[in-house]
Amino acid sequence: MSTTLSRGQFDNRLLREYFLDDAYDEMFAVDGSIRPHYVALLDLLASLPREELQRRKQSADVSFLMQGITFTVYGREEGTERIFPYDLIPRLVTSAEWDHIERGLTQRITALNVFLHDVYHEGKILAQGVIPREIVYTCQHFRRQMRGLQVPRNVYVTVAGTDLLRLKSGEYVVLEDNLRVPSGVSYMLTNRRIMKRTLPYLFRNYGVRPIEQYPQALLSTLRSIAPEGRPEPTIVLLTPGVYNSAYFEHTYLARQMGIELVEGRDLVIHDNIVYMRTTGGLKRVDVIYRRVDDDFIDPLAFRPDSILGAAGLFNAYRAGNVTLANALGTGVADDKALYAYVPAIIRYYLNEEPILNNVETYILSDPAQRQHVLENLDKLVVKAVGESGGYGMLIGPQSTAAEREEFQRRIEANPRNYIAQPTLDFSRSPCLFDDGSVEPRHIDLRPYILFGDKVTIVPGGLTRVALRKGSLVVNSSQGGGSKDTWVLG
């Protein structure tokens, strides 16, 4: 069922291609009326001539390029840099919606942190059978080296980026928790800066809650988890280096926080103390905001072929002389199979009902559930538990018979490695295209949660857009873009 909007109220070309169907539309209610908080935005879009809209979009694009806000696609001699596609129409979140999201995320991060502590210490939740042991112990991100290790304030996940979707009913649900090294926050911050320059009047009239304090909040969160007895901790950001696709973000955050951006080769560990090599000699390091995966952090403790980490770092960490944020081994809590148990985790530790629900998820190591999934592959989405970035995925309704057979083989060979979820018709938001028309596209939302001495969530997040028509994949590697997210005051 698809209806075209009546053209009466707005300029024909603006909404000519706008369609509504079962999916939740952020701008229009089911009956075609405009949601109240979008009226001023749509009025402005309708009042600006097409050329003016295009001009502003172009000037936003140029700003991104000139500021070097780019992804790097690396060749032999010449680095080519692409901008992350950007949509000019902001996504609006009402104050009431945000309060709900904020409470839900705070609850979730709190429970997951307690869970991580439990898993790496007594393991009560496993002993009581709330979660099957094999889900935890077969997880490729479980780090047995973390057993019994004490982390400051018992904080495992310092920075989380949780992906939310909006269902047909308008309910926000959690699609996945990113608890290892979530990225994208620099795009949230730069989207906002460019938006303010591109549509300043609109911005002022809407009363948008600020997000610019994020780097400062991150810095004080990191400071709060410094090892004891280090009142003026030296904090650094550890990057895999210039070839990493998120290198721009690493340099951006380091600059915004005023901390040193280091690579593994800058670090020296002696007597379980971490130092960085500076021209003024060795300088002690207390907190490492690491953007290097667990596997690569220390060739002595993990992958011996890694050149991105520093030898001896894990022992210094074990000795409590340095804090790593996030802690190692947090990936066990964002495993796609464990995800299905997060509501149970919240109930178990906090004795509360989850405020934000999960998407219904089938565990394929369970024979009954597996049977159901294999019979309905054409209707479901299948995901490999260890993959991210939109790879290793089967979207049933858009798949071919050959692809489904291939996934059936893979699932049967290694059921623990896959989960299945219903194909979600998640919400759509208006997007502006180069010809000046506005069309709806699917979006998600990734707010960033900081957890140190307290939980801090800056109001907003990265809204990712599946810019290709009909696409459900928002990842930048697969034709996704982003837009600014305005949480209204």
| Interaction site with other proteins (CB under 8 A) | 67-68, 77-79, 241-242, 247, 251, 254-255, 260-263, 265-266, 268, 270, 276-282
Matching residue, tokens 């790097």? 72
- Closer to other proteins by Cβ: residue 221 or 239: 239
- Closer to other proteins by Cβ: residue 281 or 304: 281
- Closer to other proteins by Cβ: residue 148 or 281: 281
**Residue 279 CB, nearest distance to other proteins (Å)?**
4
- Closer to other proteins by Cβ: residue 68 or 389: 68
Backbone angles phi, psi at 324, to 5 degrees: -105, 135
Q: Are 129 and 119 in contact (CB under 8 A)?
A: no
- Closer to other proteins by Cβ: residue 124 or 277: 277
**Residue 271 CB, nearest distance to other proteins (Å)?**
9
**Residue 181 CB, nearest distance to other proteins (Å)?**
19
- Closer to other proteins by Cβ: residue 219 or 465: 219
- Closer to other proteins by Cβ: residue 124 or 270: 270
Task: Report the distance separating Cα 16 and Cα 12, nearest Å.
Answer: 6
Cα–Cα–Cα angle for 94, 100, 106, nearest 5°? 130
H-type alpha helices, 285-400: 313-318, 342-350, 367-375
- Closer to other proteins by Cβ: residue 315 or 398: 315
If you ran DSSP here, which 8-state letter would residue 33 be given?
P
**Residue 68 CB, nearest distance to other proteins (Å)?**
7
Compute CA distances 308 → 79, 144, 254, 296, 298, whole Å.
20, 21, 18, 6, 8
**Residue 97 CB, nearest distance to other proteins (Å)?**
36
- What contacts 24+ positions apart, CB below 8 Å, involve 369-378? 370/411, 370/415, 373/411, 373/420, 374/408, 374/411, 374/412, 377/404, 377/407, 377/408, 378/404
- Closer to other proteins by Cβ: residue 68 or 489: 68
- Closer to other proteins by Cβ: residue 49 or 68: 68
**Residue 190 CB, nearest distance to other proteins (Å)?**
14
**Residue 57 CB, nearest distance to other proteins (Å)?**
23
Backbone angles phi, psi at 264, to 5 degrees: -55, -40
**Residue 237 CB, nearest distance to other proteins (Å)?**
10
**Residue 178 CB, nearest distance to other proteins (Å)?**
24
**Residue 79 CB, nearest distance to other proteins (Å)?**
7
Task: Report the distance separating Cα 206 and Cα 254, nearest Å.
Answer: 31
Residue 459 in tokens: 């109001």
- Closer to other proteins by Cβ: residue 29 or 268: 268
Helices vs strands, H then E, count in the chain = 14, 25
If you ran DSSP here, which 8-state letter would residue 28 be given?
B
Q: Are 322 and 329 in contact (CB under 8 A)?
A: no
- The SS3 of residue 395 is strand
For β-strands 281-284 and 273-278, DSSP reports them as antiparallel
Closest Cα partner for 170 from 101, 109, 106? 101
H-type alpha helices, 207-307: 214-224, 247-257
Length of the chain: 489
The count of other CB atoms within 10 Å of the CB of residue 270 is 10
- Closer to other proteins by Cβ: residue 111 or 254: 254
**Residue 266 CB, nearest distance to other proteins (Å)?**
5
**Residue 467 CB, nearest distance to other proteins (Å)?**
28
Exposure pattern of 119-146 as b/e (b: 16+ CB <10 Å)?
bbeeeebbeeeebbeebbeebebbbebb
